[in-house]
Amino acid sequence: MKYKGSCHCGKVAFEVEGELTQAMACNCSICQRKGSLLWMLPRAKLTLLTPDEAASTYTFHKHVVKHRFCPVCGIHPYCDGVDPKGNHIVAVNVRCLEGVDPEALPVQHYDGRAL
């Protein structure tokens, strides 16, 4: 299925394709503060509808994950990264997807503080 997503003001917009069956809640220092629910996918499944430069980037710790956010409204719609096998992945914030009820998804809890 194809989903559209964006930040609050629409400056950062994208489409993502896949089967959304669950979300992940991470307790690392940034995810806990953001309150995002994440959907992990291969990076090729995400298509930007706005220029890549529309989103700002924040990295910390090992600087492996690029936390992308809107510099206008501050919403964090997705993150780019590389998994341990070297695959390019994206973590989409399901709270930023149109027509998705995040409360209806089962949530897997991930201990990001342990890293």
* pLDDT for the residue 113: 85
Q: Where are the domains of the chain?
A: 2-114
Taking only the tens place, the pLDDT of each residue in 16-40 is: 999 999 999 999 999 999 999 999 9
Residues 6 or more apart from 108 whose CB is under 8 A from it? 22, 23, 24, 25
Asked if residues 38 and 8 have their Cβ atoms less than 8 Å apart, the reply is: no
* pLDDT for the residue 15: 98
> Within 10 Å of residue 11's Cβ, how many Cβ atoms?
16
Taking only the tens place, the pLDDT of each residue in 73-99 is: 999 999 999 988 999 999 999 999 999
2-114 belongs to which CATH class? Answer: mainly beta
Q: Report the length, in residues, of the chain.
A: 115
Strand partners, 78: 68, 92
* pLDDT for the residue 41: 97
